[in-house]
Amino acid sequence: MDAAGAAATVQGCRARLTSWADDKSAARWSMKLRIVALGHRMPAWVGAGFDDYARRLPREFALELIELKPAPRGRGGSATRILAVEKERIATATRGCVVIALDEHGQSWTTPEFAARVRAWSRDGRPVAFVLGSADGLAAAVKHDADVIMALSALTLPHGLARVVLIEQIYRAASLLEGHPYHRE
């Protein structure tokens, strides 16, 4: 996309966000968010960062963190088998949700574009589940079955850092949807 097209897209997102923030019925909306994360025993800084942004979310965002224990890695366990086991755990945790699989090869959005997506997902009425894979990533079937594959970055991020970046971006999108100015605009 050229610079003019990107500017028009961002401007369109701003217009949609502004109209939602100004809508008198905006206080009536709510959204159930679920972060399904394969991994446990995160360093203290991950929990502190996650909790800080989770506390800042408006009360209209009902947030649930589901930590799934990764499949055991050991002798004889191929990555394919491990991912298949994890796929079943993910499917159970995301049943009935709009599923957003996080992968560095997924769609990349600006903050206003992400906020517009969050708004659209909230209108769907179903809970939204963001899925963070294990050390081996996500099974191809999880990505295939997901409603969206989203990239937080083109870089490979450590699991704990991706968890904090995700919740911060959800908080930032919520702030835009609430009508708070984005610091770069």
Delineate the domains of the chain, giving CATH numbers in brackets: 30-177 (3.40.1280.10)
Q: Where are the alpha helices (DSSP H) in the chain?
A: 3-22, 44-56, 79-94, 111-124, 140-145, 159-177
pTM > 0.85: no
pLDDT at 145: 96
**C-alpha separations of 1 from 4, 44, 107 in Å:** 8, 40, 14
pLDDT at 70: 86
pLDDT at 181: 76
Q: Within the chain, which residues score under 50 in pLDDT?
A: 1-27
- Polymer length in residues for the chain: 185
pLDDT at 19: 41
Q: How far apart are CA 176 and CA 105, in angstroms?
A: 26
